[in-house]
Amino acid sequence: MEGYIYCGLCIVSFTIGAIIGQRVAKGKDITVNPVKMVKEATNERKEKKKEDLRIRQVNAMLNNIDNYDGSGLGQTEIPKE
């Protein structure tokens, strides 16, 4: 039973260390509270995902404008997710 506890603590400390290392490499602030760090990392991923979706949508729209010939041929679906 004790082995599982130590293993869990090692995994948690490794994850926190990896997040801190990435923040130092990017030159961002370091938060000591691990809960805040995980929330911030999750929020950053969500924002990046939204930004990537928006870029794909704009590219699809521009591609549809370029391919427009008066009919629906050559048009692509605009990504929703």
How many residues in the chain? 81
Nearest to 59 by CA among 78, 39, 44: 78
pTM tops 0.75, yes or no: no
- How far, in whole angstroms, is CA 10 from its chain's centroid? 25
Residue boundaries of the structural domains of the chain: 1-30, 31-81
Give the span between the Cα atoms of 11 and 34, in whole angstroms.
13
User: What is the pLDDT confidence band of residue 61, given thresholds at 50, 70 and 90?
Assistant: very high
Q: Which pLDDT tens digit goes with each residue over 27-51?
A: 877 767 778 878 888 999 999 999 9
Q: Report yes or no: 75 and 64 within 8 Å, Cβ to Cβ.
A: yes
